[in-house]
Amino acid sequence: MYEYRKFVLAGIALTIVLCYIARLAFLQLTSEEYKSRANDNAFFNNIIFPARGVIYDRNGELLVYNQPAYDIMVIMREINHLDTLDFCNTIGITKAQFDERMELIKDRKKNPGYSTYTQQLFLPQICAEEYGVFQEKLFRFHGFYIRERTIRRYATDHGAHILGDVAEVSPADVEKDEYYSPGDFIGKQGVERSYEQELRGVKGVEVLLRDARGRIQGNYRNGAFDRKPVPGKNLTLSIDTKLQALGERLMEGKMGSIVAIEPSTGEILCMVSAPSYDPHRMEGKQRGAQMMEMQRDPMKPMLNRAISGTYPPGSTFKISQGLTFLQEGIITTSTAYSCSHGFRFAGMKVGCHAHGSPLPLIPAIATSCNSYFCWGLFQMLSNRNKYKTIQDAMTTWKDYMVSMGFGYKLGIDLPGEARGMIPNAEYYDRRLGRWSGLSVISISIGQGEVTLTPLQIANLGATIANRGYYITPHVVKHVEGGHLADSLLVKHHTKVEKKYYDAVVEGMRKAVLGGTCRGANTPMYEVCGKTGTAQNRGHDHSAFMGFAPKDNPKIAIAVYVENGGFGAHFGVPIGALMMEQYINGELSPISEAKAATFQSRHINYGTRER
């Protein structure tokens, strides 16, 4: 019995020894974690950040560039006899700030992947002067290093919503893309975000050799394993900086948006969201404080109203209705409807201003007759010879609207685009139960449940200018060494035949010659336009949609001024000035005086929350 016990104990001891040997072999030969720690004791991988791509406007004017900056990095395991007070005085922080930062670095919830063996970001973006002072004393602060990088600077005061900004990566960014490490920077808004992969480039690395005490001895094998960084690609935007600057001038003291598009290419010439902010506010270490201040502002200057704001389009929407009714055979260009100060039928009334009656389509567009388009929609939704049910008619109507770029995102190359609202039959079945054409008549004049973004309204202008198609609106004209995504170059044809666009173009031309858009008329070129006065709980919104010249158009534009009153009050004159600036390259002295007047015309919005 004793002899058996001896063999059992010997076997157990041997098994334990073999387990230890196997574990040690695994840790030393297989485990990446221990390989990394062993390498970190012998090598120091100095990450070299690439220069981020710079950004130009369509005329080659520099908008965004890079400036050298420096990060203070720390390897916790290497800190040795640190004179904390001297360290803090050198970089201009307090002891409390030092302790807070150290705790944050060690917090694995806020800093996933933390290791005492790897570099951690202690203080980002110190300037050249601070770097010089710190560099002189660096030998005293074992475990701390300097990492060179660049920060974004803006050469313009305009286009903040388009350009966007960069900031330190979040834990979610690091988890989503292995390219990033804590302390890296990433595009957060605008083209900085949507073209992040093109702009960021590829990191390089310099492999340095350490001695037994961790001191750098030079490049490992004369740099045989080093990798040079690959600079990011430069972007050329479609934005015209002078046009953008004028738009922001004209929208001072107002809330709303201006969007201008080159119809033949889909390139966005300007995108103004008001109120805006100076992009310089998002530079460097001040970004966080500036961003918090703007987020608390009830006027919401950080909201890009051009693509994220949704509004009732008002009478600008009537053009899409006229096209739909023509294509569906509900009307012809000679079909006339009466207007007795508005649409009246079976107890339903939609008001309208004074003008001739009855009138056909082209004068109805020129005078912006509400009654005409109410009758057109009522006839379409009530037509049981053509549509079996009102639901079928409504589905047909909705399909036309979607083909014109409404109800869904257009796919612009900027983050944050809203889709707006185009109601369908299921929506009304669910909301109203039993309903008729009269129940939804207000959608025919761009009211009721219909909402669009200013981008979608401008895109409608581009579609009419092209006589039936649009190209996905986009703000990037060219990517260095590459090309735009195919989705940004596709022609989207509407469900309306080209021949029917001639009538609505003529109506929009007459609106400028003698209708609601007279303020946009000029002898220099033929302007086509449509006003919009969108009802609101407060003062009405002022809108204008148009393009010029009538033939071979160069610019399509939408102007939307919240609580600006009639479309002719703000929308038309602002739109006219913007078209003149782009087509002629400058404003005449008379137009410059008008611009100064509209720049000074502010709207009192109070301090209400929006």
CATH topology (fold) of 44-237: Penicillin-binding protein 2a (Domain 2) (3.90.1310)
**What number is the average pLDDT over the span 215-235?**
79
In angstroms, the CA 379 to CA 384 distance is 10
**What number is the average pLDDT over the span 439-448?**
96
pLDDT of 28 over the 60 cut: no
Q: How many CB atoms lie within 10 A of CB 433?
A: 8
**What number is the average pLDDT over the span 521-547?**
92
Which residues in the chain are classed under CATH 3.90.1310.10?
44-237
Q: Which pLDDT score, from 0 to 100, does residue 194 have?
A: 97
**What number is the average pLDDT over the span 42-60?**
88
Q: At 68, is the pLDDT very low, low, confident or very high (cuts 50, 70, 90)?
A: confident
Query: What letter represents residue 171's amino acid?
Result: P
Could you tell me whether strands 235-237 and 55-56 are parallel, antiparallel, or unpaired per DSSP bridges? parallel
In angstroms, the CA 242 to CA 582 distance is 8
Q: Is 201 left (phi over 0), alpha (psi -120 to 50) or beta?
A: left
CB 274 within 8 A of CB 252: yes
Q: What are phi and psi of 452, to 5 degrees?
A: -130, 160
* Pick from 39-43, 386-390, 454-458: least confident: 39-43
pLDDT of 517 over the 90 cut: yes
Contacts of 394 by beta carbon, 8 Å cutoff, 6+ apart: 381, 424, 425, 428, 440
Q: Which pLDDT score, from 0 to 100, does residue 114 have?
A: 81
**What number is the average pLDDT over the span 142-152?**
87
Q: For residue 440, what is the DSSP state?
A: G
In angstroms, the CA 442 to CA 42 distance is 75
Calculated CA dihedral for residues 583, 603, 516, 341, nearest 10 degrees: 160
pLDDT of 55 over the 70 cut: yes
Q: Which pLDDT score, from 0 to 100, does residue 206 have?
A: 83
Q: Where are the alpha helices (DSSP H) in 438-564?
A: 454-465, 501-514
Contacts of 99 by beta carbon, 8 Å cutoff, 6+ apart: none
pLDDT of 606 over the 50 cut: yes
Q: Is 164 left (phi over 0), alpha (psi -120 to 50) or beta?
A: left
Contacts of 199 by beta carbon, 8 Å cutoff, 6+ apart: 52, 53, 187, 191, 192, 232, 233, 235
Q: Which of 321, 354, 324, 356 is nearest to 338 (CA)?
A: 356
CATH topology (fold) of 241-278+301-600: Beta-lactamase (3.40.710)
Q: At 182, is the pLDDT very low, low, confident or very high (cuts 50, 70, 90)?
A: confident
Question: Which is higher by pLDDT, 425 or 78?
Answer: 425
* Pick from 111-120, 244-253, 465-474: least confident: 111-120
Q: At 608, is the pLDDT very low, low, confident or very high (cuts 50, 70, 90)?
A: very low
| β-bridge partners, 50 | none
358-396 pLDDT, tens digit each = 999 999 999 999 999 999 999 999 999 999 999 999 999
Sign of CA dihedral 343, 344, 349, 354: positive
Q: Which pLDDT score, from 0 to 100, does residue 217 have?
A: 60
pLDDT of 537 over the 80 cut: no
Mean pLDDT taken over the chain? 90
Q: Is the pTM of this model over 0.85?
A: yes
The helix, strand and coil proportions of the chain, stated in percent and rounded to the nearest 5, come to: 40, 20, 40
Q: Which two tokens stand for residue 85?
A: 């007070």
Strand, coil or helix: 30: helix
231-288 pLDDT, tens digit each = 999 999 999 999 999 999 999 999 999 999 999 999 999 999 999 999 999 887 788 8
Q: At 115, is the pLDDT very low, low, confident or very high (cuts 50, 70, 90)?
A: confident
Distances (CA, A) of 219 to 45, 46, 149, 216, 328: 10, 10, 20, 9, 75
**What number is the average pLDDT over the span 560-588?**
95
Q: Which pLDDT score, from 0 to 100, does residue 609 have?
A: 42
pLDDT of 24 over the 60 cut: no
Which residues in the chain are classed under CATH 3.40.710.10?
241-278+301-600
pLDDT of 40 over the 60 cut: no
Q: At 38, is the pLDDT very low, low, confident or very high (cuts 50, 70, 90)?
A: very low
| β-bridge partners, 451 | 421
pLDDT of 36 over the 50 cut: no
Q: At 213, is the pLDDT very low, low, confident or very high (cuts 50, 70, 90)?
A: low
N-term to C-term CA, the chain: 89
Contacts of 258 by beta carbon, 8 Å cutoff, 6+ apart: 247, 250, 251, 270, 271, 272, 306, 454, 557, 558, 559, 560, 574, 575, 578
Q: Which pLDDT score, from 0 to 100, does residue 34 have?
A: 46
| β-bridge partners, 476 | 237
Radius of gyration of the chain (CA): 32
In angstroms, the CA 330 to CA 324 distance is 8
Contacts of 13 by beta carbon, 8 Å cutoff, 6+ apart: none
